[in-house]
Amino acid sequence: MSDGSSIDSLVAILRAEVARLAPGDRLPSSRDLIGRHGVGPVTVSRAIALLAAEGVLVTRPGSGTYVAVRRSTATAPDTSWQAVALAGRQLDPGEPTVEVPPGTVALSGGYLHESLQPTRALGAALARAARRPDAWHRAPAAGLAPLRTVFARQLGGDVGPEDVLVTGGGQGALSMLFRATVAPGSPVLVESPTYPGALAAARAAGLRPVPVPMDADGLRPDLLADAFAMTGARLLYCQPTFHNPTGTVLSDARRAQVVDVARAAGAFLIEDDFARHLGHGRPVPRPLVADDRDGTVIHLTSLTKPASPSLRIGAVTARGPVMRRLLGMRRVDDFFIARPLQEAAVELLSTPAWDRHLRALAAALQHRCTTLAAALSRTLPDWTLTTVPAGGLHLWVQLPSHLDESALADATRTAGVSIDPGHPFFPAEPPGAYRRLNFGAAADPGELAEAARRLAAAGGPRTGP
């Protein structure tokens, strides 16, 4: 039995025992619990610590462990007053985090399955970082110099470490960028569809997302110029490389055009480069910021997608007064990013293990992508796959018009498959019914084929007669 399961089992036993006791009653000693349940002293210590953290037990050094006073539930708290206090402050929650029930094949969310994460390399990096004598010192507001240098080197061009600000992942950086670049009430141009978390962050900053259509080559520069002219916007948010959710890559011919259109409008362009390390083995396009010398492009990247959701380390690259403003906001928001996590990121990115992980990840994602695309083609031929992406984590499919979306969502849950609905990805009315499927979230490629089979077996609930 693993240590984790032994602790969980003992916690359950002690919880049941506490339920039969009165507040203030003393539990058996640790020695008695070890002998009675056949577990080690570490298991007992951790089980008691967990229950003490929950407020179930109280430990008194030198005296013993006692049942804590139970919280009264006779009168439910009344928080109805908050409806008035919060009026007019409703926030868009963005992309929901949904717990996947046991037995469900996960094709939802935006992260890698644990089996694809470099957990061993992460653990080793964190252990090495913790042994540094200055690991717990205050970090510079802009981030550790070695980490900024690594991020700058990855971008190429003449980007230097002085242009890089280390952030706590990508989502917090988006919130900061939307607040730093334009005033509340301003329009922000976005691709349609786009990342729901960006829409939520923009709306939380008081901005008005305005959709700009895409096609197979990405954002349309002609319609982008029209949108700037019509709205007077001074900010564009886009994902030129392995766009979420469609997987589209902005074509070579359009990359310079999009930057030129933004520059002509006197606008910033936020380049969300979340998938730079999620290519499927082919060369990844050069980031827009590498060829921008005038500070039009603000580049954003993160380590959470290729490594782990809990490696909350990202980087913003910007030039000119906007970087000084971002540093000012850092001193207001959080002062600096936790140094041990930054040190761990430096350790991870500076070892051969990171390069090996990226190569293995590219091969695994390419195999999973083609596996799921082929399975959908066989089992659900009337679901239209917009593209087979060369990078990223997702397939974007359009549903046939005869399907009842609500009934399909219920049938999908019943079938034991979690997928993301398409409507939250649109800043305005969606042009059709879509679903996003994460081929990186399942445990293995076999689950992807099983998910397609379950979706087909769930049937296609039809609209109309």
Confidence of residue 97 (pLDDT cuts 50, 70, 90): low
Alpha-carbon gap, residue 427 to 327, rounded angstroms: 30
Residue with tokens 């399961």: 5
Spans of all domains in the chain: 3-67, 105-117+355-457, 119-351
Phi, psi of 351 (to 5 degrees): -110, 155
Report pLDDT for 72. 66
DSSP state of 431: S
Q: Which amino acid is at 359?
A: R
Average pLDDT of the chain to the nearest whole number: 90
Q: pTM for the complete prediction?
A: 0.84
DSSP string, 73-87: -SS----TTHHHHTT
- The correct CATH number of 105-117+355-457 out of 3.30.565.10, 2.60.40.10, 3.60.15.10, 3.90.1150.10 is 3.90.1150.10
Alpha-carbon gap, residue 267 to 233, rounded angstroms: 7
- Residue 96 clears pLDDT 60, i.e. is over it: no
Average pLDDT over residues 259-270: 97
Give the helix/strand (H/E) hosting 438: strand 434-438
- The correct CATH number of 119-351 out of 1.20.1260.10, 1.20.120.450, 3.40.50.10470, 3.40.640.10 is 3.40.640.10
Cβ atoms of 344 and 122 within 8 Å: the answer is yes
Question: Which of 218, 210, 242 shows the shortest CA–CA distance to 110?
Answer: 242
User: What does the pLDDT look like over 17-68, one tens digit per residue?
Assistant: 998 998 989 999 988 999 999 999 999 999 999 999 888 999 888 888 999 8
Confidence of residue 174 (pLDDT cuts 50, 70, 90): very high
Range name among 110-124, 137-151, 408-422 with the lowest pLDDT average: 408-422
CATH of domain 3-67: 1.10.10.10
